[in-house]
């Protein structure tokens, strides 16, 4: 059974698979060769730890790890568009070896950057300098790879030193309105207030633009009569992002977006990568999805996406956070909590600011490659050691109550008009950050007759239990 969430054409795909290599080969067989605009992967770092939902220990040590990574990079390469980009997020354990592999597979000439992300403020590492950075290797598929500049806001020290003047329009700096001369200067050579530019210079703008700026009061003259432009801080997008990223904090224990998943990356990190390296409406692929940050960032920025993971808990955590996106603003820090509407039973925003714009829930699917492991959800009354479903029918109103031990349940959903094999739920209950999981759902049908219902329950480990049944309404 495939699960479909949301209405309209599907913008994203969650793929659960025992081996992401099998999933990548399946995508290629579907005809997605050369169709992916951006690949971001955050594979295990080979750090030798085992944290339950996440393992980065490898049989065979470094050789085994590099064999795993090499096979997946080879499988990713044919999926990448000729204008596509690839980012591989690693740390010091294996990044140098990975670059050799990437140089071979994508070509050393297509290497763009080693991005250094500061992920901590300090580490007390014995007998060495503290390790507080990760490395992100960035390659283009070809010389035609897509690129869009992204900017970083100026810091307070830079603003204080470079934007020292103020007037009614706010902080501003003076920018000379002359420029180096190229050729004869053309239309950029003309007398301005009785003054010509220096012999090796031209004016920066043609006369009409200079006249418009002067009418707006935007030109300030030096004692020698040289014009300067008032450039306001509010007009500056910031400075172009460089390859040292020390302005994006990690997901710390107090972060609002924290999900409790080991190695969770901040949304701002993926938003920057996607904004720079994936065209609008492009396709983003993450073959080591983890907590789902790539899928959420792509969803926020209006890109299509595919997320693959072998861990059921990772897939279900991503499913949950995408459901919670309904009602959230499209970009920027998470600044609202979520609850279920008492009337429509959908996730809605309880915003800290009324100015937050609604974010529509784009449709996505949840798929599984290989034989799915799905338990049967018991329907009926009585006690038990696992959750079960009680059904009450009053004329055309159907009420479902989830009973039994619910402490481990992360989410449950109902498709009130089930058409096999796709579960297209319209009611979703997810465990809130604070409080308890809603344990009932109801639906009123417009007409009597048979109705087919499917219910899915997911626990915190990602295990799934489902039930589907038909009722006869009077």
DSSP notation for 38-75? EEEE--------B-SS-B---TTHHHHHHHHHHHHHHH
Taking the C-alpha atoms of residue 471 and residue 474, their distance in angstroms, rounded to an integer, is 10
Ranking 44-58, 203-217, 295-309 by mean pLDDT, the lowest is 44-58
Taking the C-alpha atoms of residue 98 and residue 102, their distance in angstroms, rounded to an integer, is 6
Instruction: Inform me whether the pLDDT recorded for 336 exceeds 50.
Output: no
| pLDDT attached to residue 356 | 43
| pLDDT attached to residue 338 | 43
Taking the C-alpha atoms of residue 125 and residue 166, their distance in angstroms, rounded to an integer, is 46
The CATH code of domain 374-473 reads 2.60.40.10
Instruction: Inform me whether the pLDDT recorded for 10 exceeds 70.
Output: yes
Per the CB < 8 A criterion, the answer to whether 451 and 398 are in contact is yes
Higher-scoring residue by pLDDT: 78, 316? 78
| pLDDT attached to residue 292 | 95
Higher-scoring residue by pLDDT: 135, 10? 135
The torsion defined by the Cα of 405, 406, 409 and 413, in degrees rounded to 10, comes to 110
- Section 90-100 average pLDDT: 94
Task: Determine whether domain 2-151+240-368 maps to CATH 3.40.800.20.
Answer: no
Nearest in space to 406 (alpha carbons), one of 427, 380, 429: 429
Higher-scoring residue by pLDDT: 257, 452? 452
DSSP H stretches of helix in 263-371:
267-277, 293-300, 312-323
The percent of residues in the chain predicted with pLDDT above 90, rounded, is 62
Q: Sorting pLDDT into bands at 50, 70 and 90, what band is 48?
A: low
Per the CB < 8 A criterion, the answer to whether 179 and 203 are in contact is yes
Q: Sorting pLDDT into bands at 50, 70 and 90, what band is 371?
A: low
Instruction: Inform me whether the pLDDT recorded for 157 exceeds 60.
Output: yes
Higher-scoring residue by pLDDT: 326, 160? 160
- Section 33-55 average pLDDT: 76
* DSSP code of residue 106: I
* DSSP characters over 323-351: HTTTTS-SSSS--EEEEE-TTT-SEEEEE
The percent of residues in the chain predicted with pLDDT above 70, rounded, is 88
Phi, psi of 398 (to 5 degrees): -115, 130
Instruction: Inform me whether the pLDDT recorded for 358 exceeds 90.
Output: no
Residues facing residue 88 across a β-bridge? 41, 137
> Whole-model pTM above 0.85?
no
Residue 129, token pair as written in the block? 């300098």
| pLDDT attached to residue 357 | 43
Locate the domains of the chain by residue range: 2-151+240-368, 154-235, 374-473
Taking the C-alpha atoms of residue 437 and residue 406, their distance in angstroms, rounded to an integer, is 8
| pLDDT attached to residue 1 | 60
Give yes or no for a cis peptide into 421 (omega within 30° of 0): yes
| pLDDT attached to residue 360 | 55
Taking the C-alpha atoms of residue 86 and residue 105, their distance in angstroms, rounded to an integer, is 11
| pLDDT attached to residue 7 | 72
- Tell me, yes or no, if the two domains 2-151+240-368 and 374-473 fold the same way: no
Taking the C-alpha atoms of residue 8 and residue 12, their distance in angstroms, rounded to an integer, is 11
Round the average pLDDT of the chain to a whole number and report it: 87
- Section 208-235 average pLDDT: 94
């Amino acid at each position: 059974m495939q699960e479909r969430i949301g209405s309209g054409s599907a913008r994203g795909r969650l793929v659960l698979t025992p081996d992401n290599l099998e999933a990548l080969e399946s995508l290629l067989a579907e005809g997605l060769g050369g169709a992916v605009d951006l690949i971001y992967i955050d594979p295990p770092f080979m750090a030798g730890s085992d944290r339950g939902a996440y393992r980065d220990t490898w049989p065979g040590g470094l050789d085994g790890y590099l064999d795993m990574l090499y096979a997946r990079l080879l499988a990713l390469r044919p999926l990448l568009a000729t204008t596509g980009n690839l980012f591989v997020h690693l740390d010091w354990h294996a990044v140098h070896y990975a670059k050799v592999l990437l140089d071979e597979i994508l070509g050393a000439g297509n290497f763009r950057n080693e991005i250094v992300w500061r992920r901590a403020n300090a580490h007390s590492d014995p007998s060495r300098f503290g390790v507080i950075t990760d490395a992100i290797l960035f390659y283009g598929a070809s010389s035609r790879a897509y690129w869009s500049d992204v900017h970083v806001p100026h810091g307070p020290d830079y603003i204080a030193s470079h934007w020292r003047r103020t007037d009614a329009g706010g902080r501003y700096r003076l920018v000379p309105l002359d420029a180096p001369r190229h050729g004869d200067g053309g239309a950029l050579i003309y007398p301005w207030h009785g003054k010509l530019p220096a012999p090796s210079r031209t004016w920066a703008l043609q006369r009409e633009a200079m006249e418009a700026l002067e009418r707006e009061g935007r030109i300030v003259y030096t004692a020698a009569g040289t014009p300067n432009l008032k450039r306001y801080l509010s007009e500056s997008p910031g400075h172009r992002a460089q390859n040292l990223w020390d302005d994006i904090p990690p997901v710390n224990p107090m972060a609002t977006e924290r999900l409790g998943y080991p190695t969770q990356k901040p949304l701002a990190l993926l938003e920057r990568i996607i904004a720079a390296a994936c065209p609008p409406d492009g396709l983003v692929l993450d073959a080591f999805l983890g907590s789902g940050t790539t899928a959420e960032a792509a969803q926020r920025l209006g890109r299509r996406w595919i997320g693959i993971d072998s861990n059921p808990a990772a897939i279900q955590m991503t499913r949950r956070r995408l459901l919670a996106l309904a009602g959230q603003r499209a970009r920027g820090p998470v600044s609202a909590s979520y609850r279920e509407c008492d009337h429509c039973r959908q996730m809605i925003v309880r915003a800290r600011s009324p100015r937050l714009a609604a974010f529509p829930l784009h449709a996505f699917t949840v798929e599984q490659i290989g034989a799915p492991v799905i338990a049967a959800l018991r329907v009926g009354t009585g006690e038990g050691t696992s959750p079960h479903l009680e059904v009450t029918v009053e004329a055309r109103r159907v009420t479902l109550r989830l009973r039994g031990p619910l402490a481990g349940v992360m989410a449950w959903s109902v498709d009130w008009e089930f058409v096999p094999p796709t579960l297209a739920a319209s009611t979703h209950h997810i465990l809130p950050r604070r409080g308890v999981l809603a344990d009932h759902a109801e639906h009123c049908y417009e007409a009597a007759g048979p109705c087919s219902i499917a219910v899915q329950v997911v626990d915190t480990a990602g295990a799934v239990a489902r039930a589907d049944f038909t009722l006869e309404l009077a």
